[in-house]
Structure 1
């Protein structure tokens, strides 16, 4: 059987191309004697090379070490499928003794390799022996993501590997730190379920297993152990983590259709308690300057409490006066930045008061506290004070802003207040309100302004 030699190291190609690791890998694939990328270098392998390369660099290694690891994995896979035969133990032992005695030798040309060369030097590359039949006998799934435990994410523990995948998404700008941390904690619960069912590796997680997990959650919802929303969030966390771990190849499992979890019903049926400004002002009179700023930012600009707390009100005031909008980037949900239009003088007054309350700090919340401390102490005090004045939740302040914006955009009162705008006007208003509130779907506006009838 004819054997070919494949050099997994693409250091020189990467240096020559000035294009990056992906282009270098493609160049190397085209240069191999097995007939190019389609024959011996599947597209999935590029993903594995990038992942192993990133891990090697983090540990201080080089891409040559990564290539050797890929070679070993591929060889073991070929032996397991009977494509090539295992080397005789006696011959293998003799070869190792010869190398120890005479130094390192290239397996392809038998020429000695320079021990003084660095581990990243292409001269120390070990030429890996592969059969020409490997590419056709080993399927793409085995070649691609299944080349290391948990897709080579850096941990043998499934929950930790999932968190590492989410952290990579944060580095790429596709997810916020807070969202990644919450998703990782939720995924850890699925990892426990998978372990109980004999699955300890993410590469063996299937949609059927996730459906079974969702059905178990549906039973807990029926027994009133957890809410619909929490159960759906747990399934969504599995989809999000697996999607990041598989580089987008994961097919999401529907928590409603596939798992049988009841559709959550968050349609607002009662007017928000923050609509009456007199009632809001009565509650804010008891608060300090920072508390008043947090509440007013939620009522007049529709900000979340975290967004209000982390807002640089002084910069926001300058932007509002110069450009007529306020850019929100800190504390957003899912890391989605947005701009809120300035449509009234009351909004400018709110930003002016927040800027005064901020003082020399970088944000509205006190500089001596981090977000966790402020959330557990400061915001809790603000919430309890407003509740004593009839404001049930801080979220009602955002709902009040949404109801006012709906009437301004559609010319009709919000559905929760008895309005019934034409369908086209209702749709256009919801699109704008969802954008201003930092949501990606219009159906979420039902929890703020009610459902259209």
Structure 2
């Protein structure tokens, strides 16, 4: 059952008017007033209310810039989910820390629950693929082969192809949507690698080695759907329009598309360990069941028949390769994917 906030909304003169009757037509000021209600009810302190108001302002700017929304009544859960995904992506590319991602999403949830009077728009950090505050994932977000195949039958052919690209090539959703699979397919045949440049965070291109037929197959299938258009975005839509449609379609079947990228990272880790050690099926911490650090290094040493120091070196090198394939320059970001 959705928990209802009983202090605040029922006391407003017209809780169904613009911004749920929070006393301002400006969404940012309305958010401040919602937090003031929580303060009056001793649910938050003055400092917390001020900080959360500032954090919510970023969400308000996002709503205006990306969706043209200036009234809280027009906010839907998919808008919060998309913003949460933006935070996850910023964390993913190192632009913000995991604590910041949690704090900004928490502020949105806090304001909206008070404004509306319930938690129907609430999106948790876990749902958004944001790891816990340590930055080390304790929840395996990879999508199983069985679930992946089921999802592909439930999605449109275009989104099914994008999901396969994310799984096989490690694309973020925006990268997959803005990519040209046909051009990448040609490059893969010529160079045994592809250049990912459209939709990357910070505009930094990266080169991904092509090492399996499944990667080629993913590009082939996507290129058929792409046709003569320059990307996987339908020719009659902008990226924003397409992404809104995608979030709705994903939401209907409970699909978390970043889970495909997690699968790529975990499979890539095992492949890099195989290349280094000649030993198959060496799993990362989150999928092996061994905690990151000493326990996992011992697991590697036992599988390979090497020393702990050698196991550490193998692990570090595999993580560096995975980080680069995901578009990062730091190995600590792999903690969110590999544990």
Give me the TM-score of the superposition, normalised by structure 1: 0.41
Which residue is equivalent to 2:137?
A: 268
Q: 2-side partners of 1:287 and 1:281: how far apart?
A: 10
> Is 2:320 the partner of 1:431?
yes
Q: For residue 384 of structure 1, what is the aligned residue in structure 2?
A: 251
Q: 1:417 aligns with which of 253, 272, 287?
A: 287
Residue 284 of structure 1 contacts residue 386 of structure 1 at CA under 8 Å; is this kept in 2? no
Alignment-derived partner of residue 257 in structure 2 = 394
Residue equivalent to 1:404: 267
Indicate how the Cα distance of structure 1 residues 266 and 386 shifts in structure 2: closer, same or farther if over 3 A, else same.
farther
Unmatched segments (≥5 aa) in structure 2: 1-27, 29-46, 60-97, 106-131, 275-281, 291-295, 301-310
Aligned to 1:229: 100
| Cα pair distance change 1:264/1:334, threshold 3 Å | farther
Indicate conservation of the 8 Å contact 1:299/1:397, yes or no: yes
Structure 1 pair 335/217, CA: closer, same or farther in 2 (3 Å)?
farther
Q: 1:272 to 1:443 in 2, by over 3 A?
A: same
Alpha-carbon distance between aligned partners in 2 of 1:438 and 1:395, rounded to the nearest angstrom: 14
Contact 1:229 1:264 in 2 (8 A): no
- Of the candidates 334, 346, 371, which is equivalent to residue 214 of structure 2? 346
**Consecutive unaligned residues in structure 1, runs of 5 or more:** 1-188, 190-215, 235-262
In structure 1, how many angstroms separate the alpha carbons of the residues matched to 2:194 and 2:180? Answer: 11
3-state SS of paired residue (1:285): helix
CA distance in 2, matches of 1:357, 1:338: 24
Q: Highest Rg: 1 or 2? A: 1
Count of aligned pairs? 200
Change (3 A) 1:428 1:329: same
Looking at structure 1, the residues matched to 165 and 188 of structure 2 have their Cα atoms a distance apart, in angstroms, of 13
Deviation at 1:217, TM superposition (A): 7.5
Counterpart mapping for 1:432-451 below 5 A: 432-450=321-339
Q: Give the drift of 1:385.
A: 4.6
Structure 2 residue 189 is matched with structure 1 residue 321? yes
Superposed CA offset, 1:5-61 (max 9, x none): xxxxxxxxxxxxxxxxxxxxxxxxxxxxxxxxxxxxxxxxxxxxxxxxxxxxxxxxx
Partner-residue secondary structure (3-state), 1:367: coil
Q: CA deviation at 1:431?
A: 0.8
Does the aligned pair in 1 maintain the 2:142–2:261 contact within 8 Å?
no
For the 8 Å contact 1:218–1:231, the answer to whether it is kept is no
- 1:74-89 aligned at under 5 Å gives the runs none
Q: CA deviation at 1:228?
A: 2.6
1:277 aligns with 2:145: yes
CA contact 2:102–2:133 (8 Å) conserved in 1: no
Q: Is the 8 A contact 2:323 2:334 kept in 1?
A: yes
Among candidates 312, 321, 338, match of residue 180 of structure 2:
312
Q: Is the 8 A contact 2:188 2:210 kept in 1?
A: yes
CA contact 2:136–2:335 (8 Å) conserved in 1: yes
Shift, 1:386, TM fit: 4.5
Q: Distance in 2 between matches of 1:272 and 1:284?
A: 17
| Distance change (3 Å), C-alpha of 1:423 and 1:357 | same
- Compute the displacement of 1:294 (Å): 1.1
Cα distance change on mapping 1:329 and 1:285 into 2, 3 Å: same
Q: Is the 8 A contact 1:297 1:308 kept in 2?
A: yes
1:283 to partner: Cα distance: 1.0
Matched residues in 1 for 2:102 and 2:154: separation?
Answer: 38
Task: Please give the TM-score of this superposition, normalised by the length of structure 2.
Answer: 0.54
Shift of 1:278: 2.1
Counterpart CA distance in 2 for 1:302 and 1:382 is 21
CA positional deviation for 1:264: 3.7
8 Å CA contact 1:293–1:364 kept in 2: the answer is no
